[in-house]
Structure 1
């Protein structure tokens, strides 16, 4: 257990509750339970695939009709006058269905995302958004993050944050300021939003997602501040799922990718590195081929594309990508990346 914990990235998080949902029901009757179970499974599929529109896939409808077969356990509880059905779906059974239907699979190790927001209202002008000032809005964002399976953090906006991320820099979506202000939080991704009230019931928002050395800009519009804020988190979840979700048909066949990790100087580091690679959803096996000094060579069996695998490995802060030293022979031939002659190279930190 310790080795697995050591192997986890500093900010990327394993989301443990992707398969647990709670649905409001009118009664304990079988019909109400069946309807609630179908709704709950649809929510689980959104979390697991990262696809907000997954229910529109014609392959999903027959599965939802048989949703009770995928329930691992359920129980009822009351909150005031409202009855709820708490459902726990079988992760293995859901995963098998995702694979069988060739749906995207977003593994539960997901980028921790730090969200900075500024607002400009007709009456109040421009200001940073703080949790203590807008508890209902931030509560909605937390709820949406749970529905999408995206771990969110919000800055505390104390004097340190205000100095490192002044309002002008936040409104300008200054990536340099985001990098400086994010040092204390060590996020995997940063989401910056500026929310502008253009009329009494019209809002416009500009969003910038910074992740993996790249920036993604997108806009949102709506009738309230809450609506454009929620659309910002949804947009970020869509972009991250697109990068990390894998379809079983990505390549159609499994292949071996060789990975070389230097800096392995103790058994604890060896155990942490191998446990992490064994636990990746995209990797069916991770075989140690050689150990030379502080250098560990493994063969990873995977059916996903090489770039997707590299994206996933980049989430682990312990793995730092090393310089590509793939040799080019006199004929100009360069060994393919991930081959024995040109493995993926990392150093363990």
Structure 2
């Protein structure tokens, strides 16, 4: 039986390698819309609700989880209603309870323009597609997770939040010939790869969910992309482990697309300024640096609390930059630091 099954898998690999065309990206819809749970309908959404919705939209459209920490984004989040196009409420009965949701639609052109101001290119509606094989131990035995299960619903909602198109296998006769539950449970790369070819995905994840006696869920998975295999492992409740898995994969699939416009992050002089505790501080500090003749361009790289890291392209030397900054009483030089890659960062404290 094992010999016959091995032959079938080999045959499937050969057949689909011959007749299957190149994978096509998936299409995401409703990228500029979100639904938020609310207690009841109101005359209008609150600023907090509009802000939360805008944050979710920015992540979906840009593909970057960290985008909301960018100074440009943080500034615009103070007036979120300028991006809102329309809103509505919907109510329906779920499990005998009336559930109300707030639907927020944002202006796509305004959102795209905001994202490009950070140096990131919006991903667009065509995205890499992920095929998901998911099994779990259900009442003492392993089986594929059904399409209407809590786990798949969580997976779908998490993927929508990241703007990641996912596919689920049909689990029809052809799949049953090519792969068994034990193959996914054992994370056997060959069987997963062979059975995935028919779906033409851009990437494949095979994962198992195992619940301990204490209720903690352990997720183990293999991620297949461009002939490479990566093993993933997470522990927690169902929502947390599936969210971590989707976030990890989305970051890897989206990063080559959104990062090419951020090459300035890897060039220029890194300058870290601490004690930036307000938008006014940030504007004054960046205006001062931009006014220096030695500074050609200034790009914000990241914000961490009151610390801002900038990249400065210079029309001169680093020593000239330090001398120009040194005459300004509002900014005080601190000890130089190294980033995670061992590169020097010029450190200052804003005194304005």
TM over 0.5: yes
Match of 2:47 among 34, 58, 63: 34
In 1: Cα distance, 2:101 partner to 2:263 partner: 39
Alignment-derived partner of residue 132 in structure 2: 115
Within 5 Å, give how 1:167-186 maps onto structure 2. Answer: 167-186=181-200
2:173 pairs with 1:188: no
Give the drift of 1:22: 2.1
Within 5 Å, give how 1:67-106 maps onto structure 2. Answer: 67-79=80-92, 81-103=98-120, 105-106=122-123
Mapped contact 2:135–2:184 kept (Cα < 8 A): yes
Give the drift of 1:115: 0.2
2:214 pairs with 1:200: yes
Within 5 Å, give how 1:300-339 maps onto structure 2. Answer: none
In 2: Cα distance, 1:117 partner to 1:175 partner: 14
Give the drift of 1:13: 1.7
2:142 pairs with 1:126: yes
Please state whether the residue corresponding to 2:193 is helix, strand or coil. Answer: helix
Mapped contact 1:107–1:245 kept (Cα < 8 A): no
Give the drift of 1:83: 4.3
Please state whether the residue corresponding to 1:199 is helix, strand or coil. Answer: coil
Please state whether the residue corresponding to 1:78 is helix, strand or coil. Answer: strand
In 1: Cα distance, 2:121 partner to 2:27 partner: 18
Please state whether the residue corresponding to 1:54 is helix, strand or coil. Answer: helix
Within 5 Å, give how 1:1-349 maps onto structure 2. Answer: 11-25=24-38, 26-30=40-44, 32-79=45-92, 81-103=98-120, 105-120=122-137, 123-131=139-147, 135-222=149-236, 224-246=237-259, 248-250=261-263
Give the drift of 1:104: 5.9
Gaps of 5+ in 1: 1-8, 253-349
Mapped contact 1:50–1:106 kept (Cα < 8 A): yes
Mapped contact 1:105–1:246 kept (Cα < 8 A): no
Give the drift of 1:183: 2.7
Give the drift of 1:40: 0.7
The verdict on how the C-alpha distance between 1:129 and 1:213 changes in structure 2, with shifts beyond 3 A counting, is same
TM-score under structure 1 normalisation? 0.61
Deviations 1:131-177 (A, max 9, x none): 25xx2221121111111111111112233212211223212322322
In 1: Cα distance, 2:223 partner to 2:257 partner: 15
Please state whether the residue corresponding to 2:136 is helix, strand or coil. Answer: strand
Mapped contact 2:23–2:200 kept (Cα < 8 A): yes
Mapped contact 1:22–1:86 kept (Cα < 8 A): yes
Give the drift of 1:226: 4.4
Greater share of helix: 2
Deviations 1:1-22 (A, max 9, x none): xxxxxxxx85312313111112
Say which one has the larger Rg. 2
Paired residues in the alignment total: 239
Give the drift of 1:82: 4.6
Give the drift of 1:98: 1.0
Please state whether the residue corresponding to 1:183 is helix, strand or coil. Answer: helix
Deviations 1:252-272 (A, max 9, x none): 9xxxxxxxxxxxxxxxxxxxx
In 1: Cα distance, 2:43 partner to 2:88 partner: 13
In 2: Cα distance, 1:111 partner to 1:226 partner: 23
